[in-house]
Amino acid sequence: MFNSNALELKPWSPSKVIEAKSCPFRFNCSRSKTKVSSFPDDSAARVGTAIHEYLEILLNDPEKTKIPEVYYSIFSDNSLTHKEQIQFKLLKEAAEKSVSRIRRFQKSHNCSDSGVFVEEALAINSNFEPVHYFDNAHVMIRGKIDLAMHL
């Protein structure tokens, strides 16, 4: 059953729902105007975010990945430590292979680049109508689709 108190915490996203369900105390602390305490940074999350960013670049502009500054930018934007940079480099090859498989699939199904959507932002209001992603006054739930193809 829908609880109208949820409207006070909008906009909702799938990750926000998961956070609220997994640890209500942490969820309430993170949403509080008065910060109770900070939670430790998670190395795996930083490396995962960096790889996710790299995958976006590979999908949107693969030539950009040949520029060394792109790596330094990813490392600094995500505050990766030296150890995390090594972890990133170990995962980089797997990311590149994944994109190669995606491109082969795309080619074999005659899917043009205009039919590939990376980080597609979607948002709806409480009437299930599409609204602008950052329209906080009207958004009830929003999320991003990492990758979608129109075949």
Q: Taking residues 71-88, what's their average pLDDT? A: 88
Quick check: 37 pLDDT over 50? no
Tokens found for residue 18: 């998961």
Mean per-residue pLDDT, 58-72: 84
Is the backbone peptide bond immediately before 130 cis, with ω within 30 degrees of 0?
A: no
56 has a pLDDT exceeding 50: yes
Asked if residue 9 has pLDDT above 60, the reply is yes
Q: What is the pTM of this model?
A: 0.63
Question: pLDDT above 90 covers what percent of the chain?
Answer: 30
What pLDDT does residue 90 have? 92
Buried-exposed string 45-65: b where 16+ CB fall within 10 A, e elsewhere: ebbebbbebbbebbbeeeeeb
For the segment 23-30, the average pLDDT, to the nearest whole number, is: 77
* Residue-wise pLDDT tens digits, 92-125: 999 999 999 988 998 898 888 777 888 889 999 9
Stretch 52-61: mean pLDDT, rounded? 89
Q: Which residue has the higher pLDDT, 61 or 115?
A: 61
Cβ atoms < 10 Å from Cβ of 118: 15
33 falls in which pLDDT band (50, 70, 90)? low
Closest among 94, 91, 148, 74 to 117, alpha carbons compared: 148
